Amino acid sequence: MDNMVKDGVDQDTVEAVREVGGAYKHGWATDIEMEYAPKGLSTDIVRLISEKNEEPEWMLEWRLAAYDRWLKLVEPDWAMVDYPKIDFQDQYYYARPKSMEVKPKSLDEVDPKLLETYKKLGIPLKEQALLAGVEAPEGERKVAVDAVFDSVSVGTTFKDELLKAGVIFCSISEAIKDYPELVQKYLGTVVPVSDNYYATLNSAVFSDGSFVYIPPNTRCPMELSTYFRINAENTGQFERTLIIADKGSYVSYLEGCTAPQRDIAQLHAAVVELVLLDDAEIKYSTVQNWYPGDENGKGGIYNFVTKRADCRGDRSKVMWTQVETGSAVTWKYPSCILRGDDSQGEFYSIAIANNMQQADTGTKMVHLGKRTKSRIVSKGISAGKAQNTYRGLVSMHPKAKESRNYTQCDSLLIGDKCGAHTVPYIEVKNNSSRVEHEATTSKVDDDQLFYCRSRGMDEEEAVALVVNGFCKDVLQALPMEFAMEAQALVAISLEGSVG
Amino acid sequence: MSAVAETLSVTDERLAGLTLPAGGWSDAARKDAFSRLQSMGLPNRRDEYWKFTRPDTLTQALPVPAAPFVTDEVPLFDAIDRLKIVFVDGVFDAEASDDLSLEGIQIDRLAAADADIHWARDVYGVLEANGQKPVARSLAALNTAFAVDGVLIHVTGAVIKPINMIYLHKSETSDVMLHHVIKVDAGASLTVLETGPAAARLNNVMEVDIADGAAFHHARAQGRDHERRAATHMFARLGAESTFKSFTLTANGVMTRNECIIELTGDNANATVGGACVGDGDFHHDDTVFITHDAVNCESRQVFKKVLRNGATGVFQGKILVKAGAQKTDGYQISQSLLLDGDSQFLAKPELEIYADDVICSHGSTTGAIDETALFYLQSRGVPKAVATDLLTLSFLTEAVEEIEDETLRAEINTRMASWLERRGG
């Protein structure tokens, strides 16, 4: 492995990771006094969450409508994943650090244990300093961070500087209070309340998340980033992200997720909505590293996420890039509704499943506008006893004339106990569009491995190198900061999969 | 109505007018199939496996009347020396058929095979039952339970000529279930041809058991009949070193669903399924293929091409399942369609499900209009646009026909395909 240390991740962390030899890097829990709502789900809990967030009446009604709807829905079972039935009454739907009970007036009032958490999370040191109230030196590259800890956002950095550019970046609970007209106009318009079982659940009980608004003709001056962490036991995390890119604007958004090692599986059901108006562009990158459970499949996160981008404006462009290495069960299909003429959607994905992990992930490209383009590059890697499924939809509506799609999904198998599956749906309803789909499944090439071994690499290093090569197309689509981390993560995720 | 209630009522209505035939040796298999059918229920439009094709006209109690199609065409394969077995609206026509005795082969009719212990007992309904997992194919179970006639072929040596089942459609309301069983002994080989629409509504099942080192070739032409509806199932089990090749040429037909379910159970076996389809008008054609690799070093190929115009719909659902331990599998699948106008559509679901690591599996699927550059080139050489389009269309379809091994058969199919393409809907 190379010695590259990601900007902000200190050498100690890297050493620590090496020492544990592939065990889960984020498996610690911070001992912070928490305030919980009672276990279980009811209208009272929904009301309580709304009340705790000091929400207006319309928000509460929205939640209650979602809850009513959720009671009528049936949990979907079509994905190629197998897990014990979830008892939705055996979860905490609201947990927040006690120290947040009275919101800190400035970030340096933040519980030092939380700051410790950031450090462990690998949030760049500069932001940590900022969280502690220290000004960053001039001219340095900046990344604004919103950290969501269990159910609540605990701090957003660079807020003021972003506001100068007109960019709103805050937690969604703040946005509901401070920018109700924006939230009301867009929330639930991309992922409707009744969209699917988990999205509906999220609509009822989401407690926090991030909100971004980029005004017209604005290039967001820095990359925005959110770190999500589930810390408390038996807590479901239901975050909601809403990003609105107004006409001619651009933003790059990074998302990272971790959770402590727990024996009991934990639920994560997030909803991400992206709205793109004319000529807007959003680049959304995720490194998902939730706790995957142990080698025997004990514990881990159930990651049931609904992510969708609505390219409403003409010539708008969205790019989803995801590196999925964590979670015991992943159920996630970041999608693009290409409504505006000449709009574009891209999806780049690496999904690694090792040990007992199960991933069912992919994308939907719905072409509605004329001359819309989409591109899907999916790399699935299965090792151990894991099951990895690509599931996708490319749909060309009759009116989406002269549209174009290219899909490539490749699967790599490491070992003979794992599985790799591809389930694409292709629906073409006009003849001026072109749709191409290619998929391959193969094992790690023996010749390549032999070559690496003959150059003195051990088997694990060789596999990591070959796999990184296999994923190159996707890694290249990630912003610099994430690409490094993702590359290292690919190697770590596969440790123990050979030999 | 809930999905479950809908399935129940559709199944009940369909079964209301049917009685299990007394079949002697096949009685047990029919009863099993009947209980299978009752527990699975007939498909409805909410079934994921019927996402792209509405099953209602295939499952409803009575068939939608279909006028027989009148054509001046010479019957297909007339130039080939073959043994003809003719069914008119599902009824065996002894006069039009050839003598069923032929060297190296034993041919019986399902309706006439009344021996208490018949060899077909080991296959009848057995491969169909195997093929019900992981996806239910209840129309095939319906067939096993209620089919009145069909052909039972046991091949013991080299057969000198192909067997041709000819299905004529004369009655507007015929509703036919035919069930064929074919057993090819070790080292033997057989070619089966199927031609014609058979009925207003056809439910056809063919179970093919191919022993070690045996070979089975199949070519089928479903005809240009506009109003016919058909649901066909082919279940094949392949032993070691055996070969299975099937090709289907379809044109038009208001509703066609062809399912092919193949299980490679012996090492080094080889299966190819191909199809070319010309849809010209308000037609719906669905190819659904499920290939299971359960042995080492087997090869499978799926090659499907469709040309769709004037509002035709083409569907392809293809799956390669590689079971754990089926190492050295080579699985290939391609589905392509050419949309000649804006009203036609292509819906596809090409799937891979793989549990072994030392495999090479790939699938590809493309959809689009005719290649403008190629069209322009031909036009620049003085070929009129319509002719150029037909030429390119034909060359597109021919790639699938190439999968037929036998040269004479291939030539027959190619010629017929070109003529169908030229005649368009008429």
* Tens digits of residue pLDDT in B97-118: 999 998 889 999 998 877 777 8
Beta bridge partners of B262: B236, B291
Interface membership of B347 toward A (CB under 8 Å): yes
- How many angstroms separate the CA atoms of A141 and A144, rounded? 10
- Taken as a whole, chain B contains a residue count of 426
Residue B133, CA distances (Å) to B136, B137, B139, B259 in order: 6, 9, 14, 14
Which candidate, A238, A161, A172, places its Cα nearest to that of A201?
A238
Q: What is the DSSP-derived secondary structure letter of residue B158?
A: B
Question: What whole-number distance in Å separates Cα of residue B357 and Cα of residue A323?
Answer: 22
Q: Which residue has the tokens 């993560």?
A: A489
Q: Does A403 touch chain B (CB under 8 A)?
A: no
Residue B155: per-residue pLDDT: 96
Rounded CA-CA distance A219/A283 in Å is: 12
Residue of B nearest to A415 (CA): B357
Q: Which residue of A has its CA nearest to B348?
A: A426
**Which of A415, A423, A434 has its CB closest to that of B351?**
A423
Judged against a pLDDT cut of 50, whether residue A4 lies above it is answered with no
CB A253 within 8 A of CB A141: no
Interior/surface letters A188-218, b for 16+ CB within 10 angstroms, e for the rest: bebbebbbbbbbbbbbbbbbbbbbbbbbeeb
pLDDT tens digits for range A311-337: 999 999 999 998 888 888 899 999 999
Residues near B72 by beta carbon (within 8 Å), at least 6 away in sequence: none
Give the H or E element holding residue B376. helix B372-380
For A366-414, how does the pLDDT look when each residue is reduced to its tens digit (9 = 90+)?
999 999 999 999 999 998 889 999 999 999 999 999 999 999 999 999 8
| pTM for this entry | 0.86
The whole-number average pLDDT for the span B298-308 is 96
Beta-carbon count within 10 A of B171 CB: 17
Could you tell me if B291 lies within 8 Å of chain A, comparing CB atoms? Answer: no
Q: Output the DSSP codes for B327-345.
A: TT-EEEEEEEEEE-STT-E
**Which residues, 6 or more positions from A420, have their beta carbon under 8 angstroms from its beta carbon?**
A380, A382, A388, A389, A411, A412, A413, A441, B352, B354
pLDDT confidence of A133, banded at 50, 70, 90? very low
The CA–CA distances, whole Å, from A39 to A168, A236, A302 equal 34, 10, 18
CA distances from residue A498 to A24, A280, A416, A444, A445 in whole angstroms, order as listed: 17, 44, 11, 11, 13
Are the CB atoms for A246 and A215 separated by under 8 Å? Answer: yes
- The interface predicted TM-score (ipTM) is 0.86
Most confident stretch, A75-89, A145-159, B259-273, B276-290: B259-273
Tens digits of per-residue pLDDT, A471-493? 888 888 887 767 777 777 777 77
Q: What 8-state DSSP symbol labels residue B267?
A: T
- Is residue A384 a contact partner of residue A416, using CB atoms and an 8 Å limit? no
Q: What is the pLDDT of residues A276-306, one digit of tens each?
A: 999 999 999 988 877 788 778 788 888 899 9
Does B345 contact A427 at a Cβ distance shorter than 8 Å? Answer: yes
Q: Which amino acid is at A487?
A: Q
Residue B2 burial by Cβ neighbours in a 10 Å radius (0-12, 13-18, 19+): exposed
Tell whether the model's pLDDT for residue B60 goes beyond 90. Answer: yes
A408–B contact, CB cutoff 8 A: no
Mutation to test the B interface, candidates A397, A418, A422, most B Cβ within 10 Å: A422
Burial of A476 (0-12, 13-18, 19+ CB in 10 A): exposed
- Output the pLDDT for position A145: 67
Q: Which of B316, B256, B320, B249 is nearest to B284 (CA)?
A: B256
Q: Residue B204 belongs to what H/E stretch?
A: strand B201-210
The answer, yes or no, to whether residue B32 has pLDDT greater than 90, is yes
Mean predicted lDDT score pLDDT of chain A: 81
pLDDT at B187 > cutoff 80: yes
Q: How many residues does chain A have?
A: 499
Lowest mean pLDDT, pick from A44-53, A83-92, B278-287: A83-92
Query: Least CB-CB distance to B368: which of A418, A433, A440?
Result: A433
Q: How far is B395 from chain A (nearest CA, A)?
A: 19
Phi and psi angles of residue A413, each rounded to the nearest 5 degrees, phi first: -110, 135
**Phi and psi torsions of B88, nearest 5°:** -105, 115
Answer whether B46 touches A (CB < 8 Å). Answer: no
- The pLDDT assigned to A483 comes to 77
* Integer Cα distance of B316 and A49 in angstroms: 48
Q: Which among A425, A428, A438 has CB closest to B367?
A: A428
- Residue showing tokens 């610099």: A480
- On the question of pLDDT at B238 being above 90, the answer is yes
Q: What's the first-to-final CA gap in chain B, in angstroms? A: 40
Interchain contact, B353 vs A419, CB within 8 Å: yes
Q: B359 vs A382, A470, B47, CA distance in Å?
A: 14, 17, 31
Percentages helix, strand, coil for chain B (3-state, rounded to 5) are: 25, 40, 40
Q: Give the per-residue pLDDT at A98.
A: 61
pLDDT band at A34 (very low <50, low <70, confident <90, very high): low
Q: Which residues contact B407 (CB under 8 A, 6 or more apart)?
A: none
Assigned token pair, B188: 């033997």
Whole-Å CA distances, B24 to B111, B116, B302: 10, 6, 38
Closest-CA residue in chain A for B367?
A435
Return the axis-axis angle of helices A43-52 and A57-72, rounded to nearest 10°.
Answer: 150
Please give, rounded to a whole number of angstroms, the shortest distance from the CA of B342 to a CA of chain A: 5
Give CA separation, B415 vs B82, B273, B397, in Å: 19, 20, 12
Q: Which residues pair with A306 in a beta bridge?
A: A271
The answer to whether the Cβ–Cβ distance between A426 and B365 falls below 8 Å is yes
Work out the end-to-end distance of chain A between its first and last CA atoms, rounded to an integer number of angstroms: 18
Which residues have a Cβ under 8 Å from the Cβ of B19 and sit 6 or more positions away?
A: none
In percent, the amount of chain A with pLDDT more than 90 equals 37
> Do residues B387 and B418 touch, judged by C-beta distance below 8 A?
no
Q: What is the pLDDT of residue A223?
A: 83
Residue B185 is encoded by which pair of tokens? 């002994």
The vertex-A351 CA angle with A346 and A354, nearest 5°, equals 180
Which residues in chain A have their CB less than 8 angstroms from residue B367's CB? 426, 428, 433-435
**CA–CA dist B189, B215 (Å, integer):** 5
pLDDT of residue A362: 93
B271: pLDDT strictly greater than 60: yes
- Three-state secondary-structure class, residue B48: helix
pLDDT digits (tens, 9 = 90+) for B338-383: 999 888 999 999 999 999 989 999 999 999 899 899 999 999 999 9
Residue B92 clears pLDDT 70, i.e. is over it = yes
Asked whether the predicted pLDDT for residue A124 surpasses 60, the reply is: no
pLDDT(B1) > 70: no
The answer, for A398 touching chain B at a CB cutoff of 8 Å, is: yes
Tell me if A351 sits within 8 A of A420, measured CB to CB.
no
Contact A441 B352 (CB under 8 A): yes
Contacts of B327 in chain A (CB under 8 A): 416
In whole angstroms, how far apart are CA A7 and each of A481, B59, B417?
Answer: 7, 64, 64
Top-ranked range on mean pLDDT: pick from A46-55, A68-77, A225-234, A275-284: A275-284
CA-nearest residue to B339 within chain A is A431
How does strand A34-36 pair with strand A95-97?
antiparallel
Shortest distance between the Cα of B332 and any Cα of chain A, in A, equals 9
CA–centroid distance for A195 within its chain: 19
Closest-CA residue of chain B to A419: B355
> In sequence order, which residues have a C-beta less than 8 Å from that of residue A419 and are 6 or more positions away?
A382, A386, A387, A388, A413, B353, B354, B355
What pLDDT does residue A266 have?
79
- In one letter, which amino acid is B383? V
Three-state SS annotation for chain A: CCCCCCCCCCHHHHHHHHHHCCCCCCCCCCCCCEEECCCCCCHHHHHHHHHHCCCCHHHHHHHHHHHHHHHHCCCCCCCCCCCCCCCCCCCECCEEEHHHCCCCCCHHHCCHHHHHHHHHHCCCHHHHHHHCCCCCCCCCCCEEEEEEECCEEEEECCHHHHHHCCCEEEEHHHHHHHCHHHHHHHCCCCCCCCCCHHHHHHHHHCCECEEEEECCCCECCCEEEEEEECCCCCECECEEEEEEECCCCEEEEEEEEECCCCCCCEEECCEEEEEECCCCEEEEEEEECCCCCCCCCCCCEEEEEEEEEEECCCCCEEEEEEEECCCCEEEECCEEEECCCCCEEEEEEEEEECCCCEEEECCEEEECCCCCEEEEEEEEEEECCCEEEEEEEEEECCCCCCCEEEEEEEEEEECCCCEEEEEEEEEECCCCCEEEEEEEEEECCHHHHHHHHHCCCCHHHHHHHHHHHHCHHHHCCCCHHHHHHHHHHHHHHHCCCCC
DSSP state of B23: -
B356·A430 Cβ contact <8 A: no
Q: Residue A393: list chain B partners with CB under 8 A.
A: none
What is the Cα–Cα distance from A323 to A326, expressed in whole angstroms? 9
CB within 8 Å: A421 and B352: yes
Give me the phi and psi of A71, to 5 degrees please: -60, -25
Which residues in chain B are closer than 8 Å to A384, comparing Cβ atoms? none
User: What is the rounded distance in angstroms from the CA atom of residue B363 to the CA atom of residue B350?
Assistant: 7
Give the residue-averaged pLDDT of B218-242. Answer: 95
Nearest residue, CB atoms, A431 vs list B341, B348, B359: B341
Interface of A with B in 413-442 (CB under 8 A): 413-442
How close does chain A come to B358, measured CA to CA in Å?
Answer: 6
